Amino acid sequence: MSDPKSRETILFVDDEDHLRMAAEQSLQLDDLDVTPFSDATEALAHVARDFPGILVTDIRMPGMDGLELMGKALEIDPEFPVILVTGHGDVELAVQSMRDGAYDFLEKPYSPARLVSTVRRALDKRRLTLENRTLRQQVGARDPIEARLTGRSPVMTKLREQIRAIAATEADVLIEGATGTGKEVAARALHRASPRSEKPFVHINCAALPADLIESELFGHEAGAFPGATRARFGKFEHARGGTVFLDEIESMAQPVQAKLLNAIQNRVITRLGSNDPVALDIRIFAASKSDLAAEAEAGRFRPDLLYRLNVVTLRIPDLEERREDIPRLFVQLVGEAAARYKLPAPDVPGAILTAVAGRRWPGNVRELRNAADRFALGLDLDIGPGLATGQALADQMADHEKSLIAASLTAHGGSLKETYEALGLSRKALYEKMQKHGLAREDFAEQSSH
């Protein structure tokens, strides 16, 4: 079995042992590295934007099926090649899945030669994709942290500086921010900048774990530990060995489980259900909360000792309202990503759209802005909705709006001062003074244009 690190690797997922073993043998006989999995969640932990391999998965599986696995893989990287393995009755479903982003599909029973040829074509495509990304990075691309956390506002500049400062350490990190601000994006950026970047990043949504199975999901179990446990199973903490565990929405975790989590984090040891043997862990912990955990602890809803253990370092992800000047630039980037995901040409974003986007409120933050970008990339009408929030002094509202309009116009014109001051009906001197007043720099907009 190959360790999926830096070599081109096929992640092969099938819950049927004999089919998985046959495929593994066929690929290995053709000198291809393959890592087999019986469980989709285990395979997903290896998918990353820079993973130099592909995914082959059966559609019909218990738990997370192949279609859900494909969807989650394409969320991480819209260009990640996924080959679906189908039964005879699933061909129509597979064809639809190719419209949704699948690279190809194999209908059972397939020949070893067909498997190998399809896999090799997918690996060639992946190699070209990664080579093109590397070339773009070498030709003056933004640093990888900025690529994930876009924005030139002071709060985003500070956030990126904090991530660079703590990435190389082993400190556990608490990430706080409102819904939709990008807490998971920050966690993944931190992981990718860390020495653990080649190891798994295991995302655990604490709010989605069933209460009666949460311990088994986190810590694993032995065969016979409870009714239905017919075989031993690693928990998510063990799947993350050498890498990072991201505990999302940790504020939703029940207090009895918080106590066991505290012990696991503090001692880096877990005990599977049904066992008395401790298992040592080599993991780093990131936790995210949309609530103020200090306030939750004070109210008795969250264990203070767990809070103190988690918040060795705390990162706060700002709302879009705190970085309005980033909105036009971020919208253009999200439109480009959406177009790539839907395999469409990236559309031009007119200045009028950027002005409207910059001038409205986004209570759902980046998530809501991304939905709007998806609609625009698909050619659908945008419901821009209400304008800026009230409650500020009139002068402050006008200053914020002026800054947003100038940033939108600079974005639309690729940082061209002449086109910007002509579009806004200003003199060059007036535009320069206003840019100085609002802390806007032309070079911040020159590298990204809507054209």
Strands 313-316 and 201-205, how do they pair? unpaired
Closest CA to 62 of 201, 239, 231: 231
Residue 262 pLDDT: 92
**Res 2: pLDDT:** 44
pLDDT in tens, 400-414: 777 878 888 888 777
pLDDT tens column, 140-158:
445 678 878 888 889 999 9
* CA separation for the pair 122, 356 (Å, rounded): 41
C-alpha–C-alpha distance, residues 339 and 345, integer Å: 6
Q: Can you give the pLDDT at residue 298? A: 94
Three-state SS at 346? coil
Cβ(440)–Cβ(395) below 8 Å: no
Range with the largest mean pLDDT of 73-87, 161-175, 249-263, 399-413: 161-175
pLDDT for res 139: 46
CA nearest 64: which of 88, 87, 37, 104?
37
Band (pLDDT 50/70/90 cuts) for residue 386 is very low
Least confident of 92-96, 106-110, 291-295: 92-96
Q: Would you say 163 and 193 are in contact if contact means Cβ atoms under 8 Å apart?
A: yes
Q: Which two three-digit tokens encode residue 184? A: 């998971």
Q: Can you list the alpha helix ranges (DSSP code H) found in 278-426?
A: 293-298, 304-310, 327-341, 351-358, 365-377, 394-412, 417-424
Identify the pLDDT of residue 257. Answer: 87
The answer to whether residues 70 and 104 touch, using CB atoms and an 8 Å cutoff, is no
Strand stretches in 298-443, DSSP E: 313-316
pLDDT score of 1 more than 60: no
Determine if residue 272 is left, alpha or beta; phi over 0 gives left, psi from -120 to 50 gives alpha, anything else beta: beta
Give phi and psi for 368, each to the nearest 5: -70, -40
- 3-state SS string over 142-175? CCHHHHHCCCCCHHHHHHHHHHHHHHCCCCCEEE
Give the chain's mean pLDDT. Answer: 85
The span from the CA of 15 to the CA of 57, in Å, is 10
Three-class secondary structure of residue 108 per DSSP: coil
pLDDT of amino acid 131: 81
Residue type, 9: T
Cα separation of 296 and 307, whole Å?
10
Rg (C-alpha) for the chain, rounded Å, is: 24
The model's pTM: 0.58
State the pLDDT at residue 322. Answer: 92
Answer yes or no: are the C-beta atoms of 252 and 289 closer than 8 Å: no
Q: Residue 23: enclosing H or E segment and its boundaries?
A: helix 17-29
Instruction: Kindly tell me the burial class for residue 151, based on how many C-beta atoms sit within 10 Å of its own C-beta (0-12, 13-18, 19 or more).
Output: buried
- Per residue in 323-340, pLDDT (tens digit) is 988 998 899 889 988 998
Of 45-59, 263-277, 372-386, the least confident: 372-386
Residue 419 pLDDT grade (very low, low, confident, very high; cuts 50, 70, 90): confident
Whole-number pLDDT of residue 398: 66
CA atoms within 13 A on the CB side of 227: 1
Cα torsion 39, 45, 49, 54 to 10°: value is -30
Three-state DSSP class for residue 269? strand
pLDDT of amino acid 395: 60
The first and second tokens of residue 11, run together, are 């992640």
